[in-house]
Structure 1
Amino acid sequence: MTALTLAAAQSISIAGDVPANIQQHLLLMRAAAEHGVQLLVFPELSLTGYEPSLAGGLAIVPEDAVLMPLREMARELQLTAVVGMPIRLASQAGVLIGALVLGADGSLGVYTKQHLHPGEEVAFVPGQGGAALQWGEDRIALAVCADYSHGSHPRAAADSGAGVYAAGVLISEGGYAADVALLQGYASEHQMLVLMANHGGPSGGWKCAGRSAIWNAQGLIAAASGVGNALVIAHREGGRWTGRQVEI
Structure 2
Amino acid sequence: MSFWKVAAAQYEPRKTSLTEQVAHHLEFVRAAARQQCQLLVFPSLSLLGCDYSRRALPAPPDLSLLDPLCYAATTWRMTIIAGLPVEYNDRFIRGIAVFAPWRKNAWDLPSESWCMSGPSFQNHHGGR
Q: TM-score, normalised by structure 2?
A: 0.75
Q: Which moved more, 1:74-83 or 1:13-22?
A: 13-22
RMSD, aligned α-carbons: 2.7
Counterpart CA distance in 2 for 1:97 and 1:112 is 11
Gaps of 5+ in 2: 108-113
| Deviation >4 Å, runs of 4+ | 109-113
Answer yes or no: is the 8 Å Cα contact 2:57–2:93 preserved in 1: no
Aligned residues between the structures: 117
1:101 is aligned to 98
SS in 2 for 1:98: strand
1:68-109, Cα deviation, whole Å (9 max, x unpaired) = 1111111111111000001225xx210010111110112538
Counterpart CA distance in 1 for 2:116 and 2:51 is 15
What is the percentage of aligned positions where both structures have the same residue? 26
Counterpart CA distance in 1 for 2:87 and 2:7 is 27
2:87 is aligned to 88
1:10-89 counterparts in 2 under 5 A?
Answer: 10-15=10-15, 17-48=17-48, 49-51=50-52, 52-53=54-55, 55-56=57-58, 59-60=59-60, 64-89=63-88
Counterpart CA distance in 1 for 2:36 and 2:55 is 37
Gaps of 5+ in 1: 119-145, 147-170, 176-248
Counterpart CA distance in 1 for 2:24 and 2:55 is 22
1:165-224, Cα deviation, whole Å (9 max, x unpaired) = xxxxxx45xx9xxxxxxxxxxxxxxxxxxxxxxxxxxxxxxxxxxxxxxxxxxxxxxxxx
What letter is aligned with 2:51?
Y
Which entry has the higher C-alpha Rg, 1 or 2? 1
Query: Given the superposition, is the C-alpha separation of residues 40 and 23 from structure 1 closer, same or farther in structure 2, using an over 3 Å criterion?
Result: same
What letter is aligned with 2:86?
I
Q: TM-score, normalised by structure 1?
A: 0.41
Answer yes or no: is the 8 Å Cα contact 1:14–1:20 preserved in 2: no
Answer yes or no: is the 8 Å Cα contact 1:98–1:112 preserved in 2: no
SS in 1 for 2:14: coil
Query: Given the superposition, is the C-alpha separation of residues 54 and 93 from structure 1 closer, same or farther in structure 2, using an over 3 Å criterion?
Result: closer
SS in 2 for 1:81: strand
